Amino acid sequence: MPQTKSKTILEVHQLSKHFSRKRGVLSAFNRRGGTIPAVDNVSFYLRENETMGLVGESGCGKTTVARTILRLTQPTSGRIEFDGRDITHLSDSELRPLRRDMQMIFQDLDAGLNPKMRVSDILKEAITVHERVSDAEVEIKSRLLLDQVNLKYSKLGSYSSELSGGEKRRVGIARVLAVGARLLVADEPTSALDVSIQAQVVNLLRDLQKQLGLSYLFISHDLQVVELMSHKVAVMYLGKIVEMGLTERVSGAARHPYTYILWSSLVEKHNREATQPIRVERRATWGVFDFERPARGCRFAPRCPVYEKRGRPAECTDPANEPQLRDVGGGHQVACHFPLGS
Amino acid sequence: MAQPLLKIENLRTYFYAHSKQAFVRSVDGVSLEVGQRETVGVVGESGSGKSITAMSVMGLISGGPGVIGGSIHYASDKVQKNLLEGLENYVQLEEGNGRVLTVKKDESGWQKASEKLMAGMRGKEIAMIFQNPRASLNPYITVGEQITEAVRLHSGISAVKEARERAIHWLERVKIDSPRLRYNSYPSGMSGGMCQRAMIAMALSSEPSLLIADEPTTGLDATIQSKIVDLLQELKNETGISTLLISHDISVITRLSDRVAVLYGGAVVEYGPASQLLDAQAGFKHPYTAALLASVPNQQKIRARANLQAIEGEVPDTINTPPGCRFYARCNQITPEIRDKCAAIHPELKDVAPGHQVRCWRFIN
Amino acid sequence: MRRSTRVKKYIQTSGEVSDFSKLPLHKKFSIPDLLYVGYGLLIVFLVLVSYVLGAFNLLPNDPQQINMDMLMAPPGTGGHLLGTDFMGRDIQSRLILGIQAYFLPGLLAIFISLSIGIVLGVLAGYRGGYAETVITYFTNLVDSFPRLVLILLVIAAFKPDIYYIMMVMGITGVPAVANAIAGKIRVLAQKNFIEAAIALGLRTRVIILKHILWYNCRALLIIQATLGMGEAILLETSLSYLGFGVQEPTPSWGNMVQSGANYFMQGNFWPSTAPALAILFTILGFNLLGDGLNNMLEGKRSR
């Protein structure tokens, strides 16, 4: 449960990241030009020892949010505060000490695992990045880390190509724990793993949070895992957060039609006889993310069942009136002109 | 039930790991049946041999030694034959200690004989859809033309116009909006979900008797996955096509399957009606199936914020298969009475209920 | 079992499945690769020995001594193992001395192409953006300019010196190295490898030197170097044939072939054949060494 007393570790304010479509010297002649708003005015905060889930379909900008927070890519606008300190414009050398505190787990199991280095070398490198540590201490700390991620000591001598998927993931987690991170941004940490191994990793991440008081930004398209992991959930659609709030509220009492569809698709997939109160009409644009011609007004309108049901109200497609996140009670925020259940 | 449409018996497909000088027993004695108008789900983790089983049925195994034993009986209205008929003549096995030690295989002879047997089967009798639909479509030919080509190849319709109409008909059947417009789209201009629909249209356009769907929803977004499952369900009801559905996603298997086979380490460990097998409460379950079902997050666990029940240990490789039960090292249901047998002898599939078999010593005697 | 010539046999080793790193050499790598590398190393050894012999003037005969009594002596006569050339000079000694013309200049060419190539490749692959665009255009420009024409221009502007030629060769070898390294970095970036290293807090210098160059590009650089040596010899030969290579009386294999070729039709085949064979076997050696090392280090086993 979120502890309301605890301190805010990460605050993201009006974060945007636009990718330029222009590339190369001859781009001046490129008539299509312009930018793709991969992340558009995203704001949220994360308290210590809390997990925030970030869900959405592929291409909605989840990963870009993660990379921008860790300053692996420079935001176009907005502000990122870590521990109350503005880190948006820090230089690479100013950022380096901060990397001790914030770390990322990548979707790719091999990220950070140099295939030509042994596990012991990988851990040693991580342990000694930010401080001088004697070899004996490295040895002790490596073993401690392996204990924390439930790996056998014998794996120290292995190369990453000799490890299974689950073991690679554990070494990856040990590597980020080695620097002593307090905030972990986990980008689809389980999606490359088998079902039985997924459960191990989810449990491991939860246990580590309890033991070490870590904070997670947990990004996944697997709604059930997000529900299990997170205290709060934010739902992204085409670069914007459309709904955000406590997990129970977002999953159980969704107010945005998109959130509702996401979670009902889960129920549908599980039950043989699906019960679905709103039948979503199939449309030509279904599933196609069209950044080139973004919908005017509400981005979700072309796919939105409520928009259809209400006879296509003008507000939804009014370019000057894009829905903004607003509170609907208890910190539950929705960006919709006609939230469900009202 | 009448004769099953597809009956795989004791299929063995091996590969050779040069670096380790050993066989990878990808499929090691798989037997399953797909009845007429039936959907059989095959669940398993990576390395369990589920995809290799499907590829073996399609005769698509390349790399040695490949399929080395077993039989695949296929019996539709039009064709009845064993797809591995006489192929054992090209393979010579030397066994010791109950496992294959040496394989001698005349690969070109095997390949030729297999091609002869598969002639007129692939695409026409047995169609297949894959995990990554965009990669299976030719990016430089419009989707419609690709389906038209398939229709002309397999349905005996040679007139281009007629074949075109058929293709559009099928695009409509898989619920692609404005099929006439989409006919001229290239795969790159379509979403992943739409490409998968087009693949399904292409697979079904030749009206095959058996559809093999290899991870048809993996890699698609949640909302799209659900739509594809809906579509497969509807098409199954409309056309009555038999399906061999392969997935690691238990929810997809649950939605679509009549019967389910659970694969572990290259062998079927449980085989039975979906309703019994996938019901977490029902008894008589292989420990692996039970653990697999328990490891998926469900509403109760989410509400209780409980940890998931993980299966300890790692997915085994199929090079060093232990002599006993392949799940022995990870099993949490071993009792002292059966421990010795579990460790030493590979159990047989045993009936625990009519049509429901489990490969576990707990259910033998 | 039907008799067929194309039966393939797969044998499972009994007992424990062995670890790849503990396998004997001939099981780890394919036999042809081992032969290639073995032959290549032999050639490298011979080249080194010849260089040392030449540098300390430990030759069987004086390579510059003109002997008008023994013009075109066939191999084996008068203590000349490989015979003499059209001026009666000892071919064997000239062959050994000929390495001098390639060794240091070749190393210079390799050094230039590797050092500039590494810098440009890292800039293009790691920094990306504007640097990448500029470097791509530069490498394309260098690549599209005929190398021989460039060399002739340099010779015309300065003098026909092997060092100038090899400098040009080094520069024209830059694009290959730069593209290979930039490509490798792009592959690593795609696997989030570099991002993971940055996120960990590693210094840029460590990432580039240790992770990119040392662990991931060392094989590539060794291979580029071996191929570069072979190429240097080949280039000098073609230039000598045009008369722009190493100038007489300094012997090089290229000018030996060229001067000997004039007498080939008269039945005096040895003055040109001996250096031609030397060129053939040496270049073959360097190329096979590069090929074999590539297969071994990059794990592309042909089996």
CA dist., res. A227 & res. A239, Å (int) = 21
Determine, for residues A270 and B224 on separate chains, whether the beta-carbon distance falls below 8 Å. Answer: no
Pairing label, strands B80-82, B356-358:
unpaired
B43: containing domain:
6-125+208-363
Place of tokens 């050779």: B16
CB within 8 Å of B289: residues ≥ 6 apart: B262, B269, B270, B277
Torsion angle, alpha carbons of A277, A281, A286, A292, to 10: -110
Give the model's pLDDT for residue A31. 54
Q: Region B61-89: what's the mean pLDDT?
A: 86
Interatomic CA distance for residues B47 and C274, integer angstroms: 59
Question: What angle in degrees, to the nearest 10, is found between the helix axes of C91-122 and C270-297?
Answer: 30
For the cut 70, the answer to whether the pLDDT of residue C299 exceeds it is no
**Paired tokens of A194:** 């088998």
The model's pTM: 0.84
The minimal CB distance from B16 to the residues C1, C10, C23 is found for C10
Select the residue of A202, A261, A288 nearest B223 (Cβ to Cβ). A261
What is the structure's pLDDT at A283? Answer: 38
What per-residue confidence (pLDDT) applies to C262?
Answer: 82
C187 or C2, greater pLDDT: C187
Nearest of A316, A318, A314 to residue A335 by alpha carbon: A316
Under 8 Å CB-to-CB from C143, ≥6 apart: which residues? Answer: C175
Whether residues C10 and B101 touch (CB distance < 8 A) is answered with no
Find the CB nearest C18 among B20, B100, B106. Answer: B20
**Confidence (pLDDT) at A276:** 42
Give the pLDDT confidence score for residue A86 in this predicted structure: 93
Q: What confidence category does residue C300 fall into, taking pLDDT thresholds of 50, 70 and 90?
A: very low
- Residue A171: left (phi > 0), alpha (psi -120 to 50), or beta? alpha
Q: Quote the DSSP letter at residue C84.
A: B
Point out the residue among A195, A224, A265 whose CB comes nearest to the CB of B226: A265
Q: Which residues pair with B351 in a beta bridge?
A: B357
B138 - beta bridge partners? none
CB B210 within 8 A of CB B6: yes
pLDDT of residue A286: 39
B105 inside 8 A of chain C by CB: yes
pLDDT of residue B169: 92
**Domain ranges within chain C, ordered by starting residue:** 29-57+77-297
Q: Give C199→chain A minimum CA distance, Å.
A: 6
Beta-strand pair B22-34/B65-75: unpaired
Please say if the pLDDT value at position C113 is more than 90.
yes
Distance CA C220, CA C183 (A): 11
For the beta sheet containing B80-82, the strands, ordered from the edge strand earlier in sequence to the opposite edge, are B22-34, B6-17, B65-75, B80-82
Mean pLDDT of C83-103: 86
Sign for the CA dihedral angle at A246, A247, A252, A257 comes to positive
Instruction: Using CB atoms, pick whichever of C137, C198, C201 lies closest to residue A100.
Output: C201
Dihedral-angle region of residue C38 (phi above 0 means left; psi in -120 to 50 means alpha; beta otherwise): alpha
pLDDT along chain A (342 residues), means of 10: 70 89 55 72 93 88 92 92 92 90 91 88 92 91 93 87 87 93 92 85 93 94 89 92 92 88 75 45 40 67 83 83 88 90 74
Distance (Å) from the alpha carbon of C194 to chain A's nearest alpha carbon: 7
Residue B242, beta-bridge partner list: B210
- Which of A216-220, A263-267, B150-154, B199-203 is least confident? A263-267
pLDDT at B322: 77
Most B CBs within 10 A among C3, C6, C7, C12, hence the mutation to make, goes to C12
Per the CB < 8 A criterion, the answer to whether B245 and B40 are in contact is yes
Give me the torsion for CA of C227, C228, C234, C240, rounded to 10°: -170
**For residue C30, what are the CA distances in angstroms to B19, B120, C6?**
11, 40, 20
**Residue at B216 is within a domain:** yes
User: Kind and range of the H or E element at B96?
Assistant: strand B91-96
Helix A165-178 vs helix A119-127: angle between axes, to the nearest 10 degrees?
Answer: 20
* DSSP bridge partners of B41: B245, B260
Q: pLDDT value at position A158?
A: 86
Q: Which chains touch C (3 or more CB pairs under 8 A)?
A: A, B
C253-261 and C270-297 are packed helices; what angle lies between their axes, rounded to 10 degrees? Answer: 140
Asked if residues A247 and A227 have their Cβ atoms less than 8 Å apart, the reply is yes
Nearest-CA distance from B317 to chain C in Å?
12
B12 touches chain C (CB under 8 A): no
ipTM at complex level = 0.83
In this structure, chain B runs to a length of: 365
- Chain A residues inside the 8 Å CB shell of C195: 67, 72, 104, 106, 111
Whether omega before B347 lies within 30 degrees of 0, making that bond cis, reads no
Which of the residues A26, A72, A87 would you substitute to probe the C interface, choosing the one with the greatest number of C C-beta atoms within 10 Å?
A72
- Give residue B307's region: left, alpha or beta (phi > 0; psi -120 to 50): beta
pLDDT value at C4 more than 70: no
Q: Do C301 and B18 touch (CB under 8 A)?
A: yes
B102 and C11 within 8 Å at the Cβ level: the answer is: yes
The confidence score (pLDDT) of residue B284 equals 80
Most confident of A294-298, B315-319, C20-24: B315-319
Which of B18, B68, B89 should we substitute to test contact with C (largest number of C Cβ atoms within 10 Å)? B18
Q: Is B341's pLDDT higher than 70?
A: yes
Residues of C whose CB is below 8 A from A110: 191, 193
Smallest Cβ–Cβ distance between C202 and the set A100, A106, A129 belongs to: A129
Distances (CA, A) of A6 to A3, A243, B81, B117, C76: 6, 23, 70, 69, 94
B92 neighbourhood in chain C, CB within 8 Å: 1
Q: What is the CATH number of the domain that holds B213?
A: 3.40.50.300
Are the Cβ atoms of A272 and B311 closer than 8 angstroms? Answer: no
| Cis amide bond preceding B208, omega within 30 | no
For strand B65-75 and strand B80-82, is the pairing parallel, antiparallel, or unpaired?
antiparallel
User: Which tokens belong to B93?
Assistant: 């096995």
CB contact under 8 A, B191 and A268: no
A92/A79 Cα distance (integer angstroms): 17
Question: What pLDDT is stored for residue C244 in this prediction?
Answer: 82
Res C13: pLDDT:
64
**pLDDT value at C17 more than 50:** yes
Measured at the CA of A285, the angle between CA A282 and CA A288, to 5 degrees, comes to 120
| Residue C9 CB neighbours (<10 A) | 11
Taking the Cβ of residue A126 and every Cβ of chain C, the question of whether any pair is shorter than 8 Å is answered with: yes
The arithmetic mean of pLDDT across residues C163-172, rounded, is 91
Interface size B-C, in CB pairs within 8 Å, comes to 67
- Test C201 with A129 for CB contact under 8 angstroms: yes
Gap between the Cα atoms of B67 and B12, Å rounded: 6
Pairwise CB contact (< 8 Å): A269 & B309: no
Contacts 24+ apart (CB under 8 A), A135-142: A141/A178
Burial of A25 (0-12, 13-18, 19+ CB in 10 A): exposed
**Hey, which chains touch A, using 3+ CB pairs under 8 Å?**
B, C
Residues of A in contact with C141 (CB under 8 A): none
Distant-in-sequence, close-in-space partners of C116: CB < 8 Å, separation ≥ 6: C170, C171, C174, C177, C178
Q: What is the b/e burial string over B216-231, where b = at least 16 CB atoms within 10 angstroms of the residue's CB?
A: bbebbbbbbbbbbbbb
Q: Which residues of chain C have a CB within 8 Å of the CB of B106?
A: 1-2, 4, 6-8
Task: Give residue limits of the domains in chain A.
Answer: 110-180
CB contact under 8 A, C6 and B103: no
pLDDT value of residue A280:
44
Contact B40, B243 (CB under 8 A): yes
Interatomic CA distance for residues B319 and B21, integer angstroms: 10
CATH topology of domain C29-57+77-297: MetI-like fold (1.10.3720)
Q: Do C193 and A107 touch (CB under 8 A)?
A: no
With 50 as the cut, is the pLDDT of residue C210 above it? yes
pLDDT for C237 equals 86
Counting one residue from A and one from B, how many pairs have CB atoms under 8 Å apart? 116
User: Has residue B309 been placed in a domain?
Assistant: yes
In sequence order, the β-bridge partners of residue A316 are none
What one-character DSSP code corresponds to residue C158? S
- Amino acid at residue number B360: C
Distance CA C181, CA C211 (A): 13
Give, to the nearest 10 degrees, the angle between helix A195-212 and helix B287-295.
50
Q: Are A184 and A216 in contact (CB under 8 A)?
A: yes
Per the model's pLDDT, the better-predicted residue between B325 and A285 turns out to be: B325
Helix (H) or strand (E) holding C283: helix C270-297
pLDDT, position B181: 85
How far apart, in whole angstroms, are the C-alpha atoms of residue B364 and residue A242? Answer: 55
The larger pLDDT score, comparing residue C26 to residue B86, is at B86
Q: Is the peptide bond before B322 cis (omega within 30 degrees of 0)?
A: no
For residue C58, with 0-12 CB atoms within 10 Å meaning exposed, 13-18 middle and 19 or more buried, which class applies?
exposed
Structure tokens at A93: 């050398």
**How far from the centroid of its chain's Cα atoms is residue A230's Cα?**
11
Domain presence at residue B249: yes
Q: How far apart are CA A238 and CA A298, in angstroms?
A: 11
Distance CA C207, CA C210 (A): 6
What percent of chain B has a predicted confidence (pLDDT) above 70?
A: 98
Mean pLDDT, chain C, rounded, equals 85
Any idea how long chain C is? 303
